[in-house]
Chain A
């Protein structure tokens, strides 16, 4: 794994060391070669820096996340408010729309459900009305009878007016 020309670890051997699969020969070389050791150390140092900063960054996201969660909750509450308002408006509109047809239907139902007047009831009502009329004006002659309008039903109204004026 140690090329004779350079006396350093090959790229593949160095990668194997970094991965944790380095051979005993590679480790023996590393113990003696400061340059290869420096390469390993530099890589591990950079990765450690990256890991530490990225983890610290991730931890810092926690409060922001909670803040955004609160914002989401507020947004959710606002959305719910709008939804409730919209639902109330729709319910009102539906109520108004349903109000008139319902009334008409109720009216129609009322007419249909009313019992029709019987012939006897109508005759009784007529008798009552005639009795009332007789009680109000028992001796007065009707204008129709006075002018015998019923006897000359074909007389034109205008001629009848002129006759009356004479």
Chain B
């Protein structure tokens, strides 16, 4: 698909007034991408969460998150607008993660197991809805169970599960970003869901 630029959108919007909203949306995204501080403020936490849960390594996730945002900022001209900005950023994060995993440094640190997620700490960040002590304890346990079962999945199953249920991406988007057939994505999702539901169901 050809790269959509502001000028082409402006010309098109003169001919087709319906594209005015697309132009405004596109301009908003471009301004968001042009401001690195805004990019970090809006997307850093979400990318860090995704990469941390995907790799299980908070320190590595920090590096990957920064690399992702930097790469997005440097390559902002290549954003075509055919998906949401968060989906585009998640795709970059996955590519950066792959690059890191291929490197010898990742293997070295993984071998040392220098950094791991403190699931108790993560579970303590409960939403305000869980107010009563009983509900808080129960909610914490459920959060820990989800994280523990995600850890037990393969990298592909875990990443695809997170893309679907945390990043709220469609199966088609996941398929395109990972370069995987839709049926393969569905198979990974089914296996991940089976593991998660059986684990959570057993704890009910």
Query: Which residue from chain B places its CB closest to the CB of A18 in the assembled complex?
Result: B193
- B143 near A11 (CB under 8 angstroms)? no
Alpha-carbon gap, A42 to B203, bound state (A): 12
Segment 117-168 of B: residues with Cβ below 8 Å from A: 121-127, 130, 139, 142-143, 145-147, 164-166
Q: Let me know if B46 and A58 touch, CB within 8 A.
A: yes
Considering only CB atoms, which chain A residue lies closest to B59 in the complex?
A68
Q: A15-B193, A20-B170, A46-B142 are in contact. Are A57 and B49 (CB under 8 A)?
A: yes
A57 touches B125 (CB 8 A): yes
Given A49-B143, A51-B166, A58-B48, check contact A19 B121 (CB 8 Å): no
Set of chain B residues within 8 Å of A52, measured between Cβ atoms: 125-127
Query: Do A53 and B122 have beta carbons less than 8 Å apart?
Result: yes
* Chief secondary structure at chain A's binding surface: helix
Across-interface contacts of B142 in A (CB, < 8 A): 46, 49-50
Residues of chain A within 8 A (CB-CB) of B190 are 12, 15
Q: Which of B124, B146, B194 contacts A50 (CB 8 A)?
A: B146
A64 to B165, CA, bound (A): 27
Q: A12-B190, A15-B193 are in contact. Are A46 and B125 (CB under 8 A)?
A: no
**A55 contacts chain B at the CB level, 8 A cutoff:** yes
Total CB contacts across the A-B interface at under 8 A? 90
Residue B62 CB within 8 A of the other chain: yes
Q: Which of A29-80 contact B (CB under 8 A)?
A: 39, 42-43, 46-47, 49-62, 65
Nearest CB of B to A129, in Å: 82
B197/A43 in contact, CB under 8 A: yes
- Max chain B C-beta neighbours (<10 A), residue from A11, A20, A21, A53: A53
Chain B residues within 8 Å of A21, by CB? 171, 186
Q: Which residues of A contact B204 (CB under 8 A)?
A: 42
A62 to B69 Cα, complex, angstroms: 15
Known: A19-B189, A47-B146, A47-B165. A58 touches B127 (CB 8 A): no
Which residues of chain B have C-beta atoms less than 8 A from A51's C-beta?
A: 165-166
B139 touches A55 (CB 8 A): no
In contact, A15 and B121 (Cβ under 8 angstroms): no
A14, A43, A58 pick with most chain B CB within 10 angstroms: A58
Q: Tell me which residues across on chain B come within 8 A of A53, comparing CB atoms.
A: 122-127, 143
Residues of B within 8 A of A11 (CB): 194, 197
Find chain B residues with CB under 8 A from A55 CB: 45-46, 49
The residue on B at minimum CB distance from A54 is B49
Chain A, residues 1-32, CB within 8 Å of chain B (1/0): the string is 00000000001101100111100000000000
Tell whether, in the assembled complex, residue B122 and residue A57 are in contact, meaning their CB atoms are under 8 Å apart.
yes
- In the complex, what residue of chain A is closest to B198 when comparing beta carbons? A11
Binding site for A on B (CB under 8 A): 44-46, 48-49, 52-53, 58, 62, 121-127, 130, 139, 142-143, 145-147, 164-166, 170-171, 186, 189-190, 193-194, 196-197, 200-201, 204
